[in-house]
Each structure stands twice: as structure tokens, then as C-alpha cells.
Amino acid sequence: MLELPAGETEQSAVVQQEFLEQLEGVSKRLYYYLLALTSNPDDAEDVLQDCYEIAWRKFEEYERGTNFYHWISRIAFNQARNFNRRRRKHRGMGLSDQMLVDLAKMQSGYSELFELRQQQLKKCLGQLNSTDRQMLLSSYQGNVSRAQLAKENGMDADLFYKKLFRLRRKLFDCINRHLGLEGVQ
């Protein structure tokens, strides 16, 4: 994933491990954020690597206990902005600074909504009875077919699919109710 820059021996192994653990939790999300800002998977990956390097150098400025994603996404935004400026200068094309700001705001909104939905999903899953919760979770594990799961639960396949649909709908409604989005389809 990330190779820490050589010559950073003054950093303790504990700090390096903390940095890598923080990155592990946000790397995929950060990549998609940069993909939205660069419009190209290879460019997003290049900017991401630059972002990691800068974040590592500035990690001592990160205030522990705060949202790591928000901290590193500011670094990523600045790197994407610099990338787009260079692209405009050398190739005559690239997103304007204002367009990047608008895209970043939109992406941030989606990201925050996703986080809220994930939090509510955990709460709503906790409200299901253990049998329903286990049935639903096992259907996403992928190591057993749904037909086999139906059989294990003593149901025919059609009944099992309908039960899963109702459980998913129940979770969807629960999440939306907790977020004040009742009636959303």
C-alpha cells in the first residue's frame, strides 16, 4: 500500500503503525474522493501517493482523536488542486479551482451522509432479532449460496428471498426514520 519515505528513522514504529492504521481505514474512500477530483484512475493514484507522503511528513500536526479522514482529505484536496493547475498549464485542460471546490463539497456531503447511514445501520441491525440478523448477515458473506442458506433456514428459496427483501426494507426504513428521511424511496 504505502511505503514510508526513507530517512524517517526518528519516527517511532508505534507512530508509523498508527499512521498506517489510520490510512487503512480511509484509503479506499480517499482514492474515490481523488478520482472525483482528477477524473482519471492513474492520476488519482498518483495524487494519492503524493498525499500519503505529505500526510506522513505532517502527521505530527494531526490532532489525535479528531476525524483523520477530514484531516487527510484537506491535504488530498490541495494536492488535487495543484495537479489540476499543472494539467491546465501544461495541457491546456483541467478542472478550475472553483469546480474542484464544488466537487469537493458535493463529495464531502455524500461522504458524511454515508457515514451517518453506516452508524444508523449498526443501530438498526441491533434492533433485529438475532435469527433475522444472522440470516441477513450470512446472506452477504458469500461463502454459501442463498439457496443453501434457504435450505439451512428451513425455507424454500422464494420464501427466503422474500424474507431477505423484507428485512432489507425494514433496515432501509429504520435508517431513514432515524435520519429524518421517512418516505424516501
- The string of pLDDT tens digits covering residues 11-25 is 478 888 889 998 998
Query: Whose grid coordinates read 505530527?
Result: 60
Cα separation, 120 vs 98, in Å, equals: 33
Query: Where do we find the cell 498549464?
Result: 89
Domain parsing of the chain, residue ranges? 1-111, 128-180
Confidence (pTM) = 0.56
CA 116 to chain centre: 12
Q: Give the pLDDT confidence of 115-163 residue by residue, as tens digits.
A: 788 888 999 999 999 989 988 888 888 777 888 888 888 888 899 999 9
| CA distances for 138 relative to 14, 90, 130, 152, angstroms | 36, 52, 12, 11
CB 64 within 8 A of CB 14: no
Q: Which fold has domain 1-111?
A: Rna Polymerase Sigma Factor; Chain: A (1.10.1740)
* Cα–Cα distance, 137 to 168 (Å, whole number): 11
CA-nearest of 80, 35, 33, 72 to 56 is: 72
Residues 173, 176: Cα–Cα separation, whole Å? 5
Q: Helices marked H in 39-156 — which ranges? A: 41-58, 68-91, 97-127, 130-139, 146-152
